[in-house]
Amino acid sequence: MKKSLLVIGFCALVLSLTAAAVPQYINYQGVLRDSAGDLVTGNKSMTFTLYDASTGGSSLWTMTSSEVAVNNGLYNVKLGPLNSSHLGAGSRWLQVAVGSDTLSPRLEVLAVAYAVTAGSAESASTVSGYSVGSTGNNIIPVTDSSGKLNVAVIPAGSTHALTADYATTSGTATNAANADAVDSYSANNAATANQLLALDGNKMFKGMAVSAEAAGNVYSMFINGGKLGITAGADQIAGVSSVPTGVGGAVVTCNKVTNNSIILLTVGTGATPDQTNTTESLKVFDISAGTSFTVKTLDENNSSGAAIHFGYLVIN
């Protein structure tokens, strides 16, 4: 038999499996000439072998076809089935033998043929060595049919959700009712410094002085020890005073009072005996806008024999 040459045409994928699967065959086309350079015609026995090196190396896959039709030198062969172990990491070379004659050099398998290795991605059981799963350790967690992660994959170490970070991953924060802290502040059912206070059964705060005051804002209101107001002194809009005995009244300094202010008075504040005088009614007189207002008895003469204490609230 004359020594033969192999001239490579091209390699392409053929659809030999179902449409949803990645093809496992390579359509290999070549041109066969004899030693004189003439195109060969006839049926030939041909063996195709994949190696991991251009010369020598290890044989990874082999296939023999005893009746390859060659017409004017052109032939087509479907090589396969092949999988990712045959065309996996590293370069691959195809060696062709016609009968007992091995043709050289080997043909390097280029990128198009490697599309068959994508089939392993369809049924991959691991990603970078990690398995997917809904429970367990060292896994890639997947959500359930409701789109939520199983509580078993939420980091353990406590029966409570210590931070809000994991609430978003679990879909539903099953332990939110038992959270130990919110932004590092613990909760308590008694008034305690630097802790959150829970409402009582009547949805009220009990046993504490409530303060709501913004620095630099004189209109910030606070509730503290039964007094309602803003800062002290002339800026105060609520407080206590007393009408002395005799003619006259109590001048209350308040630079927030206006001619349109509503001033509420409560008679008889305090706990000591001289602060429980409620025998007289009181009235606001002489509003000086931006400065003060005066509180007197209705007849402008406190003849009760004791100072009349009162509380006030200025509403603008």
User: For the purposes of burial, counting CB atoms within 10 Å of the CB of 173, is it exposed (0-12), middle (13-18) or buried (19 or more)?
Assistant: middle
Inside any domain, residue 199? no
Q: What is the pLDDT of residues 44-58, one digit of tens each?
A: 999 999 999 999 999
Task: Read off the pLDDT of each residue in 218-233 and give the average, rounded to a whole number.
Answer: 47
Let me know the angle formed at the C-alpha of 33 by 27 and 35, rounded to the nearest 5 degrees.
145
| Of 59 and 115, more confident | 59
Task: Read off the pLDDT of each residue in 250-261 and give the average, rounded to a whole number.
Answer: 88
pLDDT at residue 35 above 50?
A: yes
Q: What is the pLDDT of residues 78-97, one digit of tens each?
A: 998 888 778 776 788 999 99
| Of 9 and 145, more confident | 145
Inside any domain, residue 295? yes
Instruction: For residues 160 and 54, give the distance between their C-alpha atoms in angstroms, rounded to a whole number.
Output: 62
Which structural domain, as residue segments, surrounds residue 110?
A: 4-121
Rounded to whole angstroms, what are the CA distances from 48 to 34, 66, 106, 154, 260? 19, 11, 10, 53, 104
Alpha carbon of residue 267 to chain centroid: 57
Considering 100, 121, 142, which residue would you say is the last residue of a domain? 121
Let me know the angle formed at the C-alpha of 81 by 80 and 85, rounded to the nearest 5 degrees.
105
Q: How confident is the model at residue 3 (pLDDT cuts 50, 70, 90)?
A: very low
The DSSP string of 115-149 is GGGGHHHHT--EETTEEEESSSSSEEE---TTS--
Among candidates 49, 52, 48, 47, which has minimal Cα distance to 92?
52
Inside any domain, residue 160? no
| Token output for 112 | 């198009």
Inside any domain, residue 166? no
Rounded to whole angstroms, what are the CA distances from 9 to 3, 254, 301? 20, 101, 122
Number of domains in the chain: 2
Inside any domain, residue 150? no
Q: How confident is the model at residue 15 (pLDDT cuts 50, 70, 90)?
A: very low
**Among 62-71, 163-172, 291-300, the least confident range:** 163-172
DSSP element (H, E) containing 6? strand 4-13
> CB atoms < 10 A from the CB of 68, how many?
18
Instruction: For residues 229 and 241, give the distance between their C-alpha atoms in angstroms, rounded to a whole number.
Output: 14
Buried residues in 208-233 as b, exposed as e (16+ CB within 10 A):
eeeeeeeeeeeeeebeeeeeebbeee
Alpha-carbon dihedral angle through residues 128, 134, 135, 141, given to the nearest 10 degrees: 40
| Of 117 and 274, more confident | 117
**Among 68-72, 105-109, 148-152, the least confident range:** 148-152
Let me know the angle formed at the C-alpha of 208 by 207 and 211, rounded to the nearest 5 degrees.
160
Inside any domain, residue 210? no
Q: What does R_g of the chain's alpha carbons equal in angstroms?
A: 47
Q: What is the pLDDT of residues 173-218, one digit of tens each?
A: 545 555 667 777 888 877 787 888 777 777 777 666 555 554 444 4
Report which listed range, 107-111, 255-259, 287-291, is most confident: 287-291
Q: What is the pTM of this model?
A: 0.37
Instruction: For residues 211 and 227, give the distance between their C-alpha atoms in angstroms, rounded to a whole number.
Output: 11
pLDDT at residue 118 above 70?
A: no
Query: What CATH number has the domain bearing residue 41?
Result: 2.60.40.2060
With a pLDDT cut of 70, the percent of the chain lying above it is 66
Report which listed range, 36-50, 89-103, 113-127, is most confident: 36-50
pLDDT at residue 223 above 50?
A: no
The DSSP string of 223-249 is EETTEEESSSGGG-SEEEEEEPSEES-
Q: Are strands 139-141 and 130-133 parallel, antiparallel or unpaired?
A: parallel
| Of 266 and 2, more confident | 266
Q: How confident is the model at residue 22 (pLDDT cuts 50, 70, 90)?
A: low
Quote the mean pLDDT of the chain. Answer: 74
Among candidates 228, 237, 227, 218, which has minimal Cα distance to 314?
237
Considering 73, 91, 121, which residue would you say is the last residue of a domain? 121
Inside any domain, residue 293? yes
**Residues 186/196, Cβ–Cβ less than 8 Å:** yes
Q: How confident is the model at residue 76 (pLDDT cuts 50, 70, 90)?
A: very high
pLDDT at residue 169 above 90?
A: no
Inside any domain, residue 136? no
Predicted local confidence at residue 68, as pLDDT: 95
User: For the purposes of burial, counting CB atoms within 10 Å of the CB of 278, is it exposed (0-12), middle (13-18) or buried (19 or more)?
Assistant: middle
Considering 121, 144, 159, which residue would you say is the last residue of a domain? 121
Predicted local confidence at residue 55, as pLDDT: 94
Task: Read off the pLDDT of each residue in 26-30 and give the average, rounded to a whole number.
Answer: 87
| Residues near 279 by beta carbon (within 8 Å), at least 6 away in sequence | 304, 308
Cross-strand pairs, 297: 282
